[in-house]
Chain A
């Protein structure tokens, strides 16, 4: 009787025991800092003291009304969606091609896709600097072939930054697309052909709709990471086109406006969350069948 009860007890605590270590890491070093940021964002910056505990929304007001700050957010969101779109269009055909391959070809393709992810971002950025510099590969080719006389300014320019970002985040778009397209039931595609659909009919009526959830995952992921990118805007971008992450750094460490920086940080998280929630709603409206999963 009592033995049965005693044996049941350890069972109940065991999962909590397993979960405890990760909570000890994540709660104090992730959740609490987020809370601190939230609290600090409601304080005021003072040029003499660091933070003045004076609950106010003045930081948020500034961020949303001052054109410099709101410009930063709009820039970043704009670039994020642009990158997402560009990478989507580049990645989709490649992912579809990959789905048809097997064996060695597939391994090579996967290597090409994974390589940028395991190589340090600095290396990649440096490579792009080399390629887009005034004396770099692209300009050398253009001048050598006679297409232009003077080098085109790409480095430290939104164009170069965009190219670098497309490169950095392309694998991030390819992988979920590949995964989604791979999961398509081949027999469903055969059924479409046997019922009389041409290749493009099958694509627009069957493949595209069924891959939509994968597309959304890729876009959400890409927008979230582009918004938070620090290295690329710093090294490849231009000061005429400021982005969120370097701006937060400046605000906090150069200008020592901690409350304002905290507000920017909170706003960034909110922006990402909004994008994810809104796109999930959109997906549910476009693809009501995917709920059943």
Chain B
């Protein structure tokens, strides 16, 4: 296998277990220089564990981590030159902002001038000049977050790792920081990985997304790729709200059709034979409702149980058989009630075989 020379960071087959629990079951990922990747997944998915492996805070049982083709695994934590921004910032409470930022340079025994210049640079980049002589306890959450970033940037890291670094901020500040951080890192040409459980944050920050669950990376791709072409049911369900319908394949006029109870029909191009069990997934934003039977939903209608106004859409909760289906209709469209039928474009529906995790 020829090494891809354009790969800046390469993670191969990293696995880790703690006693009985498999935290990481063989993860591989590669980044190009200057690329920003989001590691997205629910809590317990192993994303923070993977990050600690890269940063050197923990060692994998198996696998390899290569930075520019050199293995990182032999390099101790304090030599990796990887900037880490922790979820709770981990600022030194006994040092001022300036001292926190200068720390990495001080322990490298840089000259006083270099330290001063580099600190000035980084402090002004993150607009921290008014706070340089304050202690972390005197700063707000957003300010602390900036100090954490500044401190990591000051050492001129070869890689930046952000471990849920924005989770502690409230919504508006968080969204602001997502954009600011992303721009900052792109401008400086820094390669970075952000760990988050928030889909929007992952999409805003990363050039590519790696979706993780249960210690495995399910899919890596651009935001649009992972959203529109999910490879597993987990990815599909995790990004956007999807309703699922167990179904079976049947032969239809133009090929296979997935047929679910209540007359839900979805033509599909997946490989298989009649009788195979499959699942139809419909995202809430790809369903519309009508009062008459449709080609996609012909038999028993569903009943509208609840309608909530979400601001950007009107969410209809429809009881169909034993399941609840979520349909987000545009907020200026008509509101439905009573008996309804689902209508959707098979191009925007997903049919997955039942063994696709």
Chain A: residues with CB nearer than 8 A to chain B?
185, 187-188, 190-198, 201, 205-206, 209-210, 287-290, 292-293
Interface residues on B, range: 20 to 34
Q: How far is the CA of A293 from the CA of B93 in the complex (A)?
A: 11
The B80-117 residues at the A interface (CB cut-off 8 A) are 80-84, 86, 88, 90-95, 103-104, 106-108
24 sample A-B contacts, Cβ–Cβ < 8 Å, listed by A number: A188-B91, A190-B86, A191-B86, A192-B92, A193-B77, A193-B78, A194-B57, A194-B83, A194-B84, A195-B155, A196-B104, A196-B108, A197-B103, A197-B107, A198-B107, A206-B92, A209-B94, A287-B94, A289-B94, A289-B95, A289-B137, A290-B94, A292-B93, A292-B137
Q: A187-B88, A289-B135, A292-B138 are in contact. Are A210 and B107 (CB under 8 A)?
A: no
Q: How far is the CA of A206 from the CA of B88 in the complex (A)?
A: 17
B residues less than 8 Å from A194 (CB atoms): 55-57, 77-78, 80, 82-84, 152
A residues less than 8 Å from B55 (CB atoms): 194
Quick one: closest A residue to B107, CB to CB? A197
**Is B79 positioned at the interface, with any CB of A under 8 Å from its CB?**
yes
Nearest CB of A to B40, in Å: 22
**Is B151 positioned at the interface, with any CB of A under 8 Å from its CB?**
yes
**Among B81, B83, B90, B137, which residue has its beta carbon within 8 angstroms of that of A188?**
B90
A residues less than 8 Å from B82 (CB atoms): 194
Nearest CB of B to A292, in Å: 4
Instruction: Check A191 against B137 for contact (C-beta < 8 Å).
Output: no
Instruction: Check A210 against B90 for contact (C-beta < 8 Å).
Output: no
Quick one: closest A residue to B93, CB to CB? A289
Quick one: closest A residue to B80, CB to CB? A194
B residues less than 8 Å from A205 (CB atoms): 103, 106-107
For the A-B complex with A196-B107, A210-B94, A292-B93 known, give 12 more contacts whose Cβ atoms are closer than 8 Å: A187-B86, A188-B91, A188-B92, A191-B151, A192-B103, A193-B57, A197-B107, A198-B107, A205-B107, A206-B92, A287-B94, A289-B135
**Among B90, B94, B108, which residue has its beta carbon within 8 angstroms of that of A191?**
B90
A residues less than 8 Å from B57 (CB atoms): 190, 193-194
B residues less than 8 Å from A210 (CB atoms): 93-94
B residues less than 8 Å from A288 (CB atoms): 135
Q: How far is the CA of A191 from the CA of B52 in the complex (A)?
A: 12
Quick one: closest B residue to A189, CB to CB? B90
A residues less than 8 Å from B91 (CB atoms): 188, 191
Contact with A along B132-165 (1 / 0, CB 8 A): 0001011000000000000110010000000000
A residues less than 8 Å from B56 (CB atoms): 193-194
Q: How far is the CA of A188 from the CA of B137 in the complex (A)?
A: 14
Q: How far is the CA of A279 from the CA of B88 in the complex (A)?
A: 32
A residues less than 8 Å from B83 (CB atoms): 194
B residues less than 8 Å from A293 (CB atoms): 137
A residues less than 8 Å from B81 (CB atoms): 196
Q: How far is the CA of A220 from the CA of B77 in the complex (A)?
A: 38
Instruction: Check A185 against B107 for contact (C-beta < 8 Å).
Output: no
Give 4 closest A-B pairs by Cβ, nearest first: A195-B104, A292-B137, A187-B90, A191-B90
A residues less than 8 Å from B80 (CB atoms): 194
Q: How far is the CA of A206 from the CA of B84 in the complex (A)?
A: 17
Quick one: closest A residue to B87, CB to CB? A187
A187, A206, A288, A293 pick with most chain B CB within 10 angstroms:
A187
Quick one: closest A residue to B83, CB to CB? A194
Instruction: Check A188 against B78 for contact (C-beta < 8 Å).
Output: no
B residues less than 8 Å from A198 (CB atoms): 78, 107
Contact with A along B25-56 (1 / 0, CB 8 A): 00000000000000000000000000000011
Nearest CB of B to A218, in Å: 18
B residues less than 8 Å from A188 (CB atoms): 90-93
Quick one: closest B residue to A210, CB to CB? B94
Instruction: Check A195 against B107 for contact (C-beta < 8 Å).
Output: yes
Nearest CB of A to B74, in Å: 16
Quick one: closest A residue to B56, CB to CB? A194
Instruction: Check B90 against A196 for contact (C-beta < 8 Å).
Output: no
Q: How far is the CA of A185 from the CA of B79 in the complex (A)?
A: 22
Quick one: closest B residue to A194, CB to CB? B84
**Among B94, B135, B151, which residue has its beta carbon within 8 angstroms of that of A195?**
B151
Q: How far is the CA of A181 from the CA of B105 in the complex (A)?
A: 26
**Among B79, B90, B135, which residue has its beta carbon within 8 angstroms of that of A292?**
B135
B residues less than 8 Å from A185 (CB atoms): 88, 90
Q: How far is the CA of A201 from the CA of B152 in the complex (A)?
A: 18
B residues less than 8 Å from A209 (CB atoms): 94
**Among A190, A197, A289, which residue has its beta carbon within 8 angstroms of that of B90?**
A190
Nearest CB of B to A208, in Å: 10
Nearest CB of B to A200, in Å: 10
A residues less than 8 Å from B104 (CB atoms): 195-196
B residues less than 8 Å from A206 (CB atoms): 92, 94
A190, A287, A288 pick with most chain B CB within 10 angstroms:
A190
Q: How far is the CA of A210 from the CA of B155 in the complex (A)?
A: 23
Q: A187-B90, A188-B90, A209-B94 are in contact. Are A197 and B78 (CB under 8 A)?
A: yes
Instruction: Check A191 against B107 for contact (C-beta < 8 Å).
Output: no
Q: How far is the CA of A185 from the CA of B93 in the complex (A)?
A: 10
Instruction: Check A196 against B79 for contact (C-beta < 8 Å).
Output: yes
Nearest CB of B to A30, in Å: 37
B residues less than 8 Å from A201 (CB atoms): 107
Nearest CB of A to B65, in Å: 15
Q: How far is the CA of A290 from the CA of B137 in the complex (A)?
A: 10
Q: How far is the CA of A289 from the CA of B97 in the complex (A)?
A: 12
Q: How far is the CA of A156 from the CA of B20 in the complex (A)?
A: 58
Q: How far is the CA of A185 from the CA of B92 in the complex (A)?
A: 9
A residues less than 8 Å from B151 (CB atoms): 191, 195
Q: How far is the CA of A193 from the CA of B94 in the complex (A)?
A: 17
Quick one: closest B residue to A191, CB to CB? B90
Quick one: closest A residue to B151, CB to CB? A195
B residues less than 8 Å from A290 (CB atoms): 94
B residues less than 8 Å from A292 (CB atoms): 93, 135, 137-138
Q: How far is the CA of A247 from the CA of B128 in the complex (A)?
A: 61
